[in-house]
Amino acid sequence: MSKVAVKGAVAGTGVFTLESPGTNTDRTFTLPDGDGELVRAAAVGGMPLAGSDPVVESGSNSDGEWTRWADGTQTCHGAVLGIDATEAIGSIFRTPVASIGVAWTFPAVFIADPKCIANTGSNYRWGTAGSLTPTYSYVKLISAVSSTYGGADLIAIGRWK
């Protein structure tokens, strides 16, 4: 068994790699993170952990669900309804150009514009999501037939720290 001891006052942040003799179980510790919390990687090159879990925070509200990961990644999931695809462009229809679409407010704020995708669950309707700020995205539809009050399931992936 190996032991690690830190003597005296310790301040600031640092990275320590602990090597286990004769094994392939090296561990990397970052002490502390910006919030003063211990963040530990499961193994060199692995997902950082907060305590023993890579998920730092998760929750839901009326806008959807979110998960914040120890490495700074955030995912948000939600749904919107009430999207029309009624403006003809050739043989397909889209959300009218005059319309900005339907806004989806992310259930948790990102620190920069995330990437967003929309899934309509339909074989004749497609969704587009454009992220305009770290707090919301606009959703539009393209459809094989003119349609009103369509919907989409949404995923946004970006950074929370």
pLDDT digits (tens, 9 = 90+) for 78-96: 999 999 999 999 999 999 9
Report residue 97's pLDDT band, with 50, 70 and 90 as the boundaries.
confident
The pLDDT of residue 75 is: 97
Burial class for 135, CB neighbours closer than 10 Å (0-12, 13-18, 19+): middle
* 57-159: CATH number: 2.60.40
pLDDT digits (tens, 9 = 90+) for 36-71: 555 444 444 555 555 566 888 999 999 999 999 999
Ranges in the chain annotated CATH 2.60.40: 57-159
Residue 24 pLDDT > 60: no
Dist. CA 119–CA 76, nearest whole Å: 14
Give residues with Cβ within 8 angstroms of 65, minimum separation 6. 58, 59, 76, 77, 78, 107
DSSP letters for 28-60: EEEE--TTS--EEESSTTS-EEETTBSEEEEEE
The pLDDT of residue 117 is: 93
Q: Show the tokens assigned to 121.
A: 């669950």
The pLDDT of residue 69 is: 93
Give the Å distances, CA to CA, from 62 to 44, 66, 72, 114. Answer: 38, 11, 23, 20
DSSP letter, residue 144: S
